[in-house]
A and B are shown apart, each in its own frame.
Chain A
Amino acid sequence: MARRENPEINAGSMADIAFLLLIFFLVTTTMNVDSGVSKKLAEKPPEDYVPPIIKEKNIFEVNINRNNELLVEGERMEIEDLKEAAIAFIDNGGGIGKVEEGVATGPCTYCKGERSESSSDHPNKAIISVQSDRLTEYGMYLTVQDQLLRAYSELRNRLSMEKYEIPFVELEEAYKDDKDNEILKQRVERIKTSYPQIISDAEPTN
């Protein structure tokens, strides 16, 4: 008796409800992608591990004290000069490279450094050691890491421009887009092994 015909549901407020939800998600949404400085830790050495003997000249020592001041190779330095100093050290190429998988890498042919006797032999032997105090500010520590990484990427970029006439970042991106491309893979690998990032964190002082 009561239901003679289906009354139409009023959909006029549908838009209002949708708007309400929309605004909620607009407010809660976060679009920013996390970014950060990537680092790969060294594996825990076994108990009886004897560290290899490394020549003093192949180590680039960076110390940060608790007042956030830099000491590089025994001399005070401002953060602005760190990158240039690191490049000069890595790119020195004063001797012959290490033997990798039975193949001697020989002298560094692509280095443009001073080839000084007292600095690093070859980019693949050049080790950057960062030592900081426990009370050093984290911001400073990360700035130093960032500057050192910039030194490497600058060198990689230069080599990539010389060999393939394309910045290394673009080369890497091209490879990421086309993972099966063997030529790109080889190029990326070659540049990476030409200037391997060897940054070690020494135990902090107290």
Chain B
Amino acid sequence: MSKFRKKKKGMPAVNTAALPDIVFMLLFFFMVTTTMRETDLKIENPRLPSATEVKKLEHKSLVSTIYVGKSNDVARHGTSYNRIQLNDKIASADEVPAFIINARSKVSEAEVPFMTTSIKADRESSVGVITDIRLKLRDVNALKISYSAAGKSD
């Protein structure tokens, strides 16, 4: 009888010594997978069009992104959806070649042909702006383009 009674006495505390280890493990996981957004968006977050034939963009370091959309600063740039953002400022299509050449200087020469330009444009932007960008890209031989789109399943 007494044996059983002894066992009932006081619940042993759960050992939490391994808790920091678990938390650290999670922490390292998120530290490794995290990617900080490099540029501040000067335009409203583009509402990407949706498409079914989308391909994933691989090799993030080889991708340079051009944003097109409506400026946050309506007083300065108006409400049109055709503002182009390069790096972290609003620019015009004429500055695209310089932007691409600058991006190229950051990767090794062998990788230049694999560089992709991702165009993140709002679905209300007009085709004219996209065409302007495309012509400028062709001038500097940046021929791989990805029109950023949200994937949708049929």
Binding site for B on A (CB under 8 A): 11, 14-15, 18-19, 21-22, 25-26, 28-31, 33-44, 64, 132-139, 141-143, 145-146, 149-150, 153, 201, 203-204
Please name all residues of chain B whose beta carbon is closer than 8 Å to the beta carbon of A39 when the two chains form the complex.
Answer: 145-147
**Number of residue pairs A-B, CB distance < 8 angstroms:** 147
Q: Which residue of chain A lies nearest to B139 when distances are taken between CB atoms in the complex? A: A44
Contact B118 A36 (CB under 8 A): yes
- Quick one: which of B23, B126, B134, B147 contacts A145, CB cutoff 8 A? B147
Please name all residues of chain B whose beta carbon is closer than 8 Å to the beta carbon of A150 when the two chains form the complex.
Answer: 52-53
Contact B53 A153 (CB under 8 A): yes
List, sorted by A's number, 5 A–B pairs whose CB atoms are closer than 8 Å. Answer: A15-B23, A35-B148, A36-B146, A39-B147, A142-B149
B151 to chain A, nearest CB (A): 5
Contact B126 A135 (CB under 8 A): yes
The distance in angstroms between the C-alpha atoms of A134 and B126, with both chains bound, is: 6
Stretch from B6-14, B27-35, B83-91, B102-110 that touches the partner:
B27-35
Q: Does B101 make an interface contact (CB < 8 A)?
A: no
Please name all residues of chain A whose beta carbon is closer than 8 Å to the beta carbon of B129 when the two chains form the complex.
Answer: 138
Binding site for A on B (CB under 8 A): 16, 19-20, 23-24, 26-27, 30-31, 33-37, 49, 51-57, 60, 63, 68, 116, 118-119, 121-131, 134, 137-139, 141, 143-151
Please name all residues of chain B whose beta carbon is closer than 8 Å to the beta carbon of A139 when the two chains form the complex.
Answer: 49, 123-124
The distance in angstroms between the C-alpha atoms of A64 and B116, with both chains bound, is: 27
Known: A28-B36, A29-B30. A38 touches B145 (CB 8 A): yes
Contact B118 A34 (CB under 8 A): yes
- Quick one: which of A22, A36, A37, A204 contacts B23, CB cutoff 8 A? A22
Contact B134 A204 (CB under 8 A): no
B22 to chain A, nearest CB (A): 9
Contact A141 B127 (CB under 8 A): yes
Contact B31 A136 (CB under 8 A): no
The distance in angstroms between the C-alpha atoms of A141 and B147, with both chains bound, is: 11
Report whether over half of chain A's contact residues are helix, strand or loop; otherwise say mixed.
mixed
Contact A142 B20 (CB under 8 A): no
A22 to chain B, nearest CB (A): 4
The distance in angstroms between the C-alpha atoms of A191 and B151, with both chains bound, is: 24
Please name all residues of chain B whose beta carbon is closer than 8 Å to the beta carbon of A43 when the two chains form the complex.
Answer: 138, 141, 143
Please name all residues of chain A whose beta carbon is closer than 8 Å to the beta carbon of B116 when the two chains form the complex.
Answer: 38
Please name all residues of chain B whose beta carbon is closer than 8 Å to the beta carbon of A36 when the two chains form the complex.
Answer: 51, 54-55, 57, 118-119, 146-149
Contact A33 B149 (CB under 8 A): no
B96 to chain A, nearest CB (A): 13
Contact B126 A136 (CB under 8 A): yes
Contact A137 B147 (CB under 8 A): no
The distance in angstroms between the C-alpha atoms of A30 and B37, with both chains bound, is: 9
Please name all residues of chain A whose beta carbon is closer than 8 Å to the beta carbon of B31 when the two chains form the complex.
Answer: 25
Contact A35 B141 (CB under 8 A): no
